[in-house]
Amino acid sequence: MMKVRTTNALMKYLREKHNILIKGTKDKRNLRNIGYYHGYKGYRYINNPKNRINLSNFDEIVSIVDFDSKLKSLLYPQIMQIETISKNIVLQILVEEYKTDEFNVIYENGMTDYRNSNTSEEYKKKMKQRLSVQNNIYSSLSRSYNNENKIVSHFYSKDRHVPIWGIFEIITLGIFADLIRSLEFKVRNKIDKEMNINIAFDTNAKFPEKIMYLIKSLRNSIAHNDVVFDVRFKDGKIDTKLCKYLENEIGCTGIDFNTITDYILIISVLLKKYGIIKTEINKFINDYEKIIEEFRNKISISIYNKVIYSDTKNKLIALRKFIKI
């Protein structure tokens, strides 16, 4: 059985085993507030546990945790806004295209990308993806009904299907991205255009789903209060075509989503394309700059440069020019 340590014992352990300067009432309170396992153990490395940060003072851990918390507070409202607008765009297109609000009809007539397969293996893979979306949506409906979700309960109590807009209210961003992925090309192409994406860069109309997958990982990490400052939440391979498209739009280079700055870029681009006023987007960018500047003043430059890359300033300058257009 693992030995349970008191806060005082943990402070002593950090001093003696990790050579971390930690003492006094303030440090004790901060350790209690951020937690040893969530705080110290979660923030003592960058991206990978093998990439340990050379820490000597507990104040450095507190500064990193504070930086991470401020990033989450900044990002979450914008991500939620993007999720809402994105779902409304797709919802409008689906209803107009298939003249129905029934998921089953849309599933049969619209989620037909599997037909656009060149091999039997590809057909099977796409069919599995399609069936997975259906299963996940029905599971979401069942779970929502059991949890007495007002929308789902309202329709089921009247023995009616839950309309697609109600389904969009309860599904995760991941399921939403999966749904887009299964749609037929012509509908995905319409989504591209409605999102103001340059279709010359997205000939297969895949950017909407890829963008949703990209944002989903960040959204989930924020929602679960996981670490985000070092983009360890990133899962799956980032599409280089999407990166090149963003570089072309913004007028910068080096976008690869290995730094949180690149997520600031794509969120800002989407907000602009969704018609959000420039002052609101610029405030978002300014707030990010203030957060990273405060972080730079509280942490050693060696740690700062591992988190905020040297091209950040140029990227943000280019981003502001793009927003201004």
pLDDT at residue 1 tops 50: no
Give residue 167's pLDDT band: very low, low, confident or very high (50, 70, 90): very high
Q: Is 315 within the bounds of a domain?
A: yes
Q: Can you tell me the distance from the alpha carbon of 236 to that of 245, in angstroms, rounded to the nearest whole number?
A: 19
- Whether the predicted pLDDT of 212 surpasses 50: yes
pLDDT per position as a tens digit, 233-274: 998 889 999 999 999 999 999 999 999 999 999 999 999 999
Question: Considering the domain boundaries, does residue 54 fall inside one?
Answer: no
Whether 64 is in a domain gets the answer yes
Domain residues for 274?
A: 59-324
* CA neighbor of 111 nearest in space, from 8, 18, 186, 31: 186
Q: pTM score, two decimals?
A: 0.93
Residues with Cβ within 8 Å of residue 98, at least 6 apart in sequence: 105, 106, 109, 110
- Give how many domains the chain has, as a whole number: 1
Answer whether residue 227 is part of any domain. Answer: yes
29 domain residue, yes or no: no
Q: Would you state the pLDDT for residue 218?
A: 96
Q: Are 222 and 228 in contact (CB under 8 A)?
A: yes
Predicted confidence at residue 38, as pLDDT, reads 78
DSSP conformational letter for 270: H
* pLDDT > 90? residue 279: yes
